[in-house]
Amino acid sequence: MGIDITLYAEAHRNGKWEPIPEPVKKEWSKGKTVPVESTEIGRPYKLFAALAGVCQDNLRRTMYAVVEPISEPRGFPEDMNDFYKKYFSENQCGLDFGHSWLLLQEIIDYDWDNQYVTQWAYVKHQYAHLFQDGASFPAEFPAGEKLYFVLPNWKQEPETTEVSWVTSYKEYVGCSEQFIEELLELGSPHEIRIIFWFYA
């Protein structure tokens, strides 16, 4: 089993927060008006970790780095729009966790380029010298050669050495720019916020 995210957005208009996109009636909702998720992002666990510190254990187990989240889960915002309040309270299930919200501006200000994580892996002995403490991933590492990450029940490959390198949060998470760009289509960073939670 994996972990998924449910993600909605609000826009601040006329002094209050409103759902965006606007709720609609769906075939499956039997005529009821339901909220529309603002974006479909799949299961980018590294982004989950950056948004709310979720899935850090998954990253530790594979010797990936642990990132400092923008914020630990905050719960739902007190001034959330009435439609979301009613719908979420009536449709939550016991598997939901990590409820939180973030302004789009907070996500943009997260300093993706100037925060770094250290990653570890194993490489064949002859390539270990290419890796230096505190340095980025070596450009000289052969494109066809394999990095051996630690997975559950993994046993170290013969003739390999543990190495490390540093990576910016932007490069490590990988999808942050696309995520921000999709949210910017909804409006100004100071007037858009996301409301989200996770479930297993």
For the stretch 119-160, pLDDT in tens is 889 999 999 999 998 999 999 999 999 999 877 677 888 999
pLDDT band at 25 (very low <50, low <70, confident <90, very high): confident
Compute CA distances 191 → 17, 94, 166, whole Å. 9, 31, 34
149 and 63 part of one domain: no
pLDDT value, residue 63: 56
Question: What whole-number distance in Å separates Cα of residue 117 and Cα of residue 111?
Answer: 13
- Average pLDDT, integer, range 77-100: 91
The answer to whether the beta carbons of residues 87 and 34 sit under 8 Å apart is yes
122 and 69 part of one domain: no
* pTM for this entry: 0.86
20 and 100 part of one domain: yes
Give how many domains the chain has, as a whole number. 2
pLDDT value, residue 152: 66
37 and 25 part of one domain: yes
- Average pLDDT, integer, range 186-190: 97
Q: Does pLDDT of 177 surpass 70?
A: yes
194 and 123 part of one domain: no
Tokens of 94: 């016991």
| Containing structural domain, residue 136 | 116-169
Half-sphere exposure of 176 (CA within 13 A, CB side): 23
Q: Does pLDDT of 86 surpass 60?
A: yes
Q: Which residue has the higher pLDDT, 62 or 169?
A: 169
Tokens of 138: 């070596």
Question: What whole-number distance in Å separates Cα of residue 161 and Cα of residue 113?
Answer: 29
46 and 143 part of one domain: no
Q: Does pLDDT of 170 surpass 70?
A: yes
161 and 176 part of one domain: no
